[in-house]
Amino acid sequence: MNKQNYSDEYKAYLVCQKKKKAKILAWQIGLVIIFIALWEFLARVGILNTFLFSSPFAIWKLLVSYLSNGSLFSHIGISVWETILGFGIGTILGIIIAIILWWSDTVAKVLSPTLVVLNALPKTALAPIIIVWAGAGIGGIVVTAITISIVTTILSAYNYFSLMDEEKIKMLKSFGATKWQILTKLILPANIGNMISIVKINIGLAWVGVIVGEFLVSRYGLGYLIVYGGQVFRLDLVMMGVVVLAICAFGMYAAVNLFEKWFTKKKSPNKK
């Protein structure tokens, strides 16, 4: 639908929504600025112990130093690559296994208790064992990330597939549709939004696995910077690693969010 054909009331509503989003964004940015300013002020007047909490200015100076010599880019690149592999493989394998469970009720009933138990296990606590099994280095770290994300993916995707409207499935069956056609023409297309939501969740879970793995065995990556800073009591290095980690995680989440908005807009029935 062309925007020129919108009613005046709907145009006013769109303007109101844009103003509301701008106001929320301004508040979010303002809160971050106030937090940083307050942190710096308390550190400068001695209320906060800079040895324990560092300060925004010290973190900024260290960040500029690491960016200048280029070492930070290698740490970021390694961690981001491990995370992409972890949540990518974990998400794809999880969805494939969820499809198998949806396809066969017998397999679903057999594996359901196992999946519940695996989901309840503290997988970060099992990271040392996982790394021993999978090996040190990137391989072990990626497997740790996959282990943390795959069970959640399986349970979430299988739940989405199982909650599909039975009436739609019966209608397709009445026209002679096979199970494969039901899967490819109804189940998967109808759950694309849900699978994008799973990807968003898995980004955070994969980062947890990667950072835990880097804590244990890596000599590169953001996790290594954080644990090394703690070992040598460089809290500015620890905080810098945390800040960069937050920026990277937010960037990946924002990229998926932009794809979701593009996909939603593309599929919108109001698109001209």
pLDDT tens for each residue of 83-122: 999 989 999 999 999 999 999 889 888 988 888 888 888 8
Buried residues in 85-105 as b, exposed as e (16+ CB within 10 A)? bbbbbbbeebbebbbebbbee
For residues 210 and 138, the answer to whether their CB atoms sit within 8 Å is no
Its CATH architecture, for the domain 74-267, is Orthogonal Bundle (1.10)
pLDDT exceeds cutoff 70 at 253:
yes
Report the C-alpha dihedral over residues 260, 143, 248, 203, rounded to 10 degrees.
30
Q: Helix axis angle, 8-44 relative to 56-69, nearest 10°? A: 100
Q: Please give the DSSP secondary-structure letter assigned to residue 185.
A: I
84: left (phi over 0), alpha (psi -120 to 50) or beta: alpha
Reading the block at residue 164, the tokens are: 């599909």
Interatomic CA distance for residues 209 and 127, integer angstroms: 8
Of 102, 129, 62, the C-alpha closest to 111 is 102
**Confidence grade of residue 149 (pLDDT, cut at 50, 70, 90):** confident
Looking at residue 272, its pLDDT comes to: 44
DSSP 2: -
Segment 181-197, tens digit of pLDDT: 888 888 888 888 889 88
In whole angstroms, what separates CA 203 from the centre of its chain? 2
Burial class of residue 122, CB neighbours in 10 A (0-12, 13-18, 19+)? exposed
Q: What per-residue confidence (pLDDT) applies to 271?
A: 46
54, 236 contact by CB (below 8 A)? yes
